[in-house]
Structure 1
């Protein structure tokens, strides 16, 4: 069975962020991931991770901005990445590159092997992404990450409910972009919640990404509510078995990120009480050897 990472930006909302690390360890998660770690010094996060005995396996590059204050302000103002937007004429290339440099610093201190680089929200008067700029920016970032042993990820995010106007919404577009960038450390972050809303056919997309050696990381949440994955229209038990059946030649993180909003909300033990899905996954039999 895959290993599971608690997303600290969505789980345990009743706790201060740093305390969520120990809570995830106590609940039996194998690792943690998060969206934006920049409000805390990397060294402080590293100490908390070491104390809990958990690795950090994924976080996002800044959505915009170059330091903690400007990153927080950009996120609050609705910024969702610059990879598709930092054209030479925009004057934002330096900002994008500074954000990547900061993310790589955090990744080194935290020993985190993957960074999600968000693409950005397209302006209403720019319905199409400047593809050459997108490719250029991702190549630039991948070439800086590669000597450090760090993978960069791109994630299609649904534009129907969660992020209207996001530049990258479909699996086919992500695969085409990975091929165009042509860097072995640029990979796919396959969030099955977003994929179900935009593309459906989850088993196919999972197996297709693995077959193309693009699969970098997987995330889950129930559809359509984005609550616990054992509630809703998706049979995650089946998809986890498909992941379990992937052979060692498929180079992916091995972790499934739990990036959902607990249905019980920010009440004491709210996340813990909703972890029946995790206990069920732990007790499920592994995929048969014939499927590997």
Structure 2
């Protein structure tokens, strides 16, 4: 059975944020992740993680949240100084929380200049934080219009171009379905460069169950292939979070 992680930005939202850590532990998750923890006192999060013996799997960079903030700028020409400043802040948070992975968001951009900017910023990031696992994630253009890193092949190319041991891909099955229409085929091509997996049902982004895509079979495949990272539930519960947790037992 994979090591399951709860994305606390999406799950247990019926509760205050800090209480979600305990709820995830009680539900049987092995770790938690949160997209943007920056509005919460870091020590308060550390205390809750320690109390419930839950590791922090991942946080996002840059700090702004989804309420009107840009979705990153690692690939945006002209914002290199802003990226450097906010990467430093995100890195401090990641180290304080003990986050295994720090996801670097490319933002809205296009063209050769954007690619060159992303490569330049990633080279700086891997050099500044050689002890920190960094990830980049292909995100479909329907969910995030104009997002630069919207293709898996481009993501793999970037990882291989940087060729740093602390930079890998973040593989989200929902985005894979939207981008390629072939989750398993895309996984087969990306698993060598993937450090973190996120899951949601490919039709409604609900619980990763047996509906349109057979997640229990996918989890068995991950086990058979020796995948040792976390599998994070990043989905929109169809009812309450607790009512939809049967997929963990099926995994």
Specify if TM > 0.5. yes
Residue 238 of structure 1 corresponds to which residue in structure 2? 217
Residue 99 of structure 2 corresponds to which residue in structure 1? 112
Are 1:221 and 2:208 an aligned pair? no
Alignment of 1:244-255 (within 5 A): 244-247=223-226, 254-255=229-230
Deviation at 1:245, TM superposition (A): 1.4
Residue 56 of structure 2 corresponds to which residue in structure 1? 56
- Specify which of 154, 157, 162 is matched with residue 176 of structure 1: 157
Deviation at 1:129, TM superposition (A): 5.2
Moved more, 20-29 or 201-210: 201-210
* Residues 210 and 216 in structure 2, CA contact (< 8 A), matched pair in contact too: no
* Residues 2 and 228 in structure 2, CA contact (< 8 A), matched pair in contact too: no
Are 1:11 and 2:2 an aligned pair? no
Normalised TM-score (structure 1): 0.82
Secondary structure at the residue paired with 2:208? coil
Are 1:256 and 2:248 an aligned pair? no
Normalised TM-score (structure 2): 0.95
Deviation at 1:196, TM superposition (A): 0.7
- Specify which of 146, 149, 156 is matched with residue 165 of structure 1: 146
Gaps of 5+ in 1: 64-70, 265-269, 282-292
Deviation at 1:208, TM superposition (A): 2.2
RMSD: 1.6
How far apart, in 2, do the equivalents of 1:129 and 1:257 lie?
Answer: 33
* Residues 136 and 181 in structure 1, CA contact (< 8 A), matched pair in contact too: no
Give the 3 Å change call, closer, same or farther, for CA 120–7 of structure 1 in structure 2: same
Gaps of 5+ in 2: none
Specify the structure having the higher radius of gyration (Cα). 1
- Summarize deviations over 1:5-29 as a string: whole Å, max 9, x none: 0000000111111110000011010
> After TM superposition, what 4+ stretches of structure 1 lie above 4 angstroms from structure 2?
126-129
